[in-house]
Amino acid sequence: MRAQLFIDGENFIYKIEDSLVKQGVVKHKINVENINLKKLIELALPDITIEKSNYYAAKLQFHKESPAKSKELILKQRILKTNLERQGFNFILAGNVRPQVVKVDGKSKTIFKEKGVDVRLAVDLVALSCDKSIDLAILCSSDSDLQPAISEIRKRGIEVIYLGFENNPNKGLTYTTNRTILFRNSEILQVVPVR
């Protein structure tokens, strides 16, 4: 069976950090860019041989409005990219990150929002299914926007596994996919270094 893994990077990082914080780890001590993702996938999917593992991330750019934060995010992404490529992951830059000014308690704050990663991931899923290049798609994302792409590839005979998190699985993806497998909090503790 030709299986490929598709990871929505920002969504994944958020869920990893959320899981660790809920387990009592202080957020600034989490070193997610040095995650042993290969081991985490092996713990969750011990009986599945994955032909290709794809990790989707937004392309980061330097923003003069927030130079320190820009440098920090770019450095973390470089470390993560190098780490994942060493583990055999295909690191795909798609979309971009844009700064947005929001009001928090009456004060302006700049936050960064990723755009376009889920679209690229959905296009790749559909293209691979149309080309008959995969038999099994393992989707690690909690983005309900991917449901139409999942429905489309299932119509084409592709099995889809939703790989989620035990803290807060996405019910829509659970219903749309063939099967759900959840990362356990204890598995995440084993693979993410804490400073």
- Please say if the pLDDT value at position 62 is more than 70: yes
- pLDDT tens, residue by residue, 5-20: 999 998 999 999 999 9
- Percent composition of the chain: helix, strand, coil (DSSP 3-state, to 5): 45, 30, 25
Contact predicate 154/173, CB 8 Å: no
Domain that holds residue 107: 3-191
Question: What CATH number does the domain containing 141 carry?
Answer: 3.40.50.1010
Residue 93 — very low, low, confident or very high, per pLDDT cuts 50/70/90? very high
Residue 40 — very low, low, confident or very high, per pLDDT cuts 50/70/90? very high
Count of structural domains, the chain: 1
Burial of 101 (0-12, 13-18, 19+ CB in 10 A): exposed
- pLDDT tens, residue by residue, 98-120: 667 778 788 877 666 676 789 99
Average pLDDT along the chain: 92
Contact predicate 163/148, CB 8 Å: no
